[in-house]
């Protein structure tokens, strides 16, 4: 990372995940974390990003840190000698993917032990609903970060039913947190589970409490809608062959937030979100793969925008 401030700081847990596809009796090790996925996706497009968290003082923790650093993310972590790095097993078959988590008592379940002052002072801060689900301490950290900042916060609802006792419990925590953020991202399935409706006006009334807030309602393979207090903008998703949908929402968030860093208008932010999400669903990993610069240039030209093409040295 250069001496300039990062474009975005993300805070949350990243697990070492063992992935098996089909009947192949072999696993490959990847990273999986909603917040670091966003940081890595933005780094692919040349943004300066940091990921703040806690990892165990173990080999899985070293793998997570090294992998994210190799993806261009500035890794800022504390290593816990007593609590392990969270892990997961992902199995992909004809019926879709299934995740098994081994994260109880992980180092990242105690983010209250992390020095959050750098995150508090960041230009932009990204958080998700996964973090408050991991522990009461983590929930308090997210609440304080959102409440104490003045601008530049994004919060992806990221409702994971397996991490909550019920949808009602999740809603009682996640919706108040979302109301404190400047940009809120939520999937239509999450809106139905937590709010009982995926109608954009219903969701907007439940979450938007200030005129300067943005709500992004994602509808998977359908359109995404940006809602503010007085405006609605929508853009259809890209039609692509789907390999695995895991991480698509994080890819969308990475594209949307990158476009915001570049100063792109609402419709262009949605389009770049769809662009990155379409790349993620085409691969087995959860993160944005390398992007063809010509494809990105064509998208920018089509939108009447420009993007700061990084040098080869910075891309490495």
Active site residues: 250
Dig out the tokens for 225 from the structure.
């809608």
Number of CB atoms found within 10 A of residue 51's CB: 31
Q: Give the CA-trace dihedral at 108, 113, 67, 183, to 10 degrees.
A: 80
* 51 Rama sector, left if φ>0, alpha if ψ -120 to 50, beta otherwise: beta
144 within 8 A of 121, measured Cβ to Cβ? no
Closest CA to 213 of 180, 174, 258: 180
Tell the burial category of 194 from Cβ atoms under 10 Å away from its Cβ (0-12, 13-18, 19+): buried
Q: Please report how many Cα atoms fall inside a 13 Å half-sphere around the Cα of residue 212, on the Cβ side.
A: 8
CA distance 237 to 239: 6
> Which residue is it, tokens 């890794």?
75
């Amino acid at each position: 990372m250069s001496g300039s401030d990062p474009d975005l700081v993300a805070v949350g847990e990243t697990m070492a995940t063992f992935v098996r596809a089909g009947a192949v009796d072999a696993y490959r090790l990847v990273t999986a974390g909603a917040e670091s996925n966003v940081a890595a996706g933005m780094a692919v497009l040349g943004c300066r990003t940091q990921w703040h968290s806690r990892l165990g003082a173990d080999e899985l923790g070293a793998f997570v840190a090294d992998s994210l650093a190799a993806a261009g993310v500035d890794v800022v972590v504390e290593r816990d000698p007593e609590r392990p790095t969270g892990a997961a097993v992902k199995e992909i078959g004809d019926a879709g993917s299934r995740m098994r988590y081994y994260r109880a008592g992980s180092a990242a379940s105690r983010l209250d032990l992390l020095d959050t002052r750098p995150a508090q002072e960041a230009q932009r801060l990204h958080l998700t609903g996964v973090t408050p689900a991991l522990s009461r301490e983590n929930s308090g950290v997210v609440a304080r970060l959102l409440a104490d900042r003045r601008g530049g916060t994004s919060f992806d609802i990221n409702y994971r039913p397996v991490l909550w006792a019920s949808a009602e419990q999740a809603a009682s925590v996640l919706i108040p947190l979302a109301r404190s953020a400047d940009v809120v991202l939520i999937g239509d399935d999450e809106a139905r589970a937590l709010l009982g409706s995926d109608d954009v006006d219903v969701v907007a009334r439940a979450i938007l409490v200030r005129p300067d807030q943005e709500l992004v309602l994602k509808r998977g393979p359908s359109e995404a809608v940006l809602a503010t207090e007085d405006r609605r903008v929508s853009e259809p998703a890209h039609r692509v062959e789907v390999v695995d949908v895991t991480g698509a929402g994080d890819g969308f968030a990475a594209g949307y937030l990158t476009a915001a860093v570049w100063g792109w208008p609402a419709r262009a932010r949605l389009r770049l979100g769809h662009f990155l999400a379409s790349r993620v669903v085409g691969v087995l990993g959860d993160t944005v793969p390398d992007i063809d610069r010509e494809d990105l240039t064509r998208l920018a030209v089509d939108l009447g925008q420009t993007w700061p093409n990084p040098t080869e040295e910075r891309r490495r």
